[in-house]
Amino acid sequence: MKSTFPLFPDSASALSEHVDILYVIWVLISLFFTALIFGLIIFFMARYRRRHFEEVGADERAALWLEILWSAVPLLIMLVMCGWGMRVFFELYRPPADAVEYTAIGKQWMWKVQHPDGQREINALHVPVGQSIRMRLASEDVIHSFYIPAFRVKQDAVPGRYTSLWFRAEKPGTYHLFCAEYCGTEHSRMIGSVIVMEQRDYENWLSGGTAGKSMVASGADLFTARACVTCHRATP
Ligand code: CUA
Mean pLDDT to the nearest integer, 183-212: 85
Please report which confidence band the pLDDT of residue 213 belongs to, taking 50, 70 and 90 as the band edges. low
pLDDT at 236: 56
Ligand 1 in contact with 106 (CB < 6 A)?
Answer: yes
* Dihedral angle over CA of 68, 44, 27, 94, nearest 10: -20
Q: Is the pLDDT of residue 3 over 60?
A: no
Contact 195, 127 (CB under 8 A): yes
Rounded Cα–Cα distance for residues 192 and 8 (Å): 19
Contact 146, 152 (CB under 8 A): no
Mean pLDDT to the nearest integer, 24-53: 93
Q: Whose CA is nearest to atom 1 of ligand 1?
A: 144
Rounded Cα–Cα distance for residues 96 and 94 (Å): 6
Q: Closest Cα to residue 155, out of 102, 97, 213?
A: 102
Rounded Cα–Cα distance for residues 140 and 160 (Å): 8
**134 Cα to the center of ligand 1, angstroms:** 20
Rounded Cα–Cα distance for residues 225 and 205 (Å): 31
Nearest-atom number in ligand 1 for the CA of 183 is 2
pTM of the model: 0.77
Least confident of 81-95, 132-146, 205-219: 205-219
Ligand 1 in contact with 165 (CB < 6 A)?
Answer: no
Nearest-atom number in ligand 1 for the CA of 142 is 1
Ligand 1 in contact with 187 (CB < 6 A)?
Answer: yes
**216 Cα to the center of ligand 1, angstroms:** 26
Mean pLDDT to the nearest integer, 33-54: 92
**192 Cα to the center of ligand 1, angstroms:** 12
pLDDT at 234: 64
Ligand 1 in contact with 15 (CB < 6 A)?
Answer: no
Nearest-atom number in ligand 1 for the CA of 109 is 1
Ligand 1 in contact with 183 (CB < 6 A)?
Answer: yes
Please report which confidence band the pLDDT of residue 229 belongs to, taking 50, 70 and 90 as the band edges. confident
pLDDT at 1: 46
Mean pLDDT to the nearest integer, 157-175: 94
Convert the pLDDT of each residue in 99-108 to its tens digit.
999 999 999 9
Instruction: Write the CA distances from 142 to 78, 123, 171, integer angstroms.
Output: 37, 17, 32
pLDDT at 71: 93
Ligand 1 in contact with 113 (CB < 6 A)?
Answer: no
Ligand 1 in contact with 126 (CB < 6 A)?
Answer: no
Ligand 1 in contact with 147 (CB < 6 A)?
Answer: no
Mean pLDDT to the nearest integer, 146-167: 94
Convert the pLDDT of each residue in 174-192 to its tens digit.
999 999 999 999 999 999 9
Percent of the chain residues past pLDDT 70, beyond the cut = 94
Please report which confidence band the pLDDT of residue 8 belongs to, taking 50, 70 and 90 as the band edges. confident
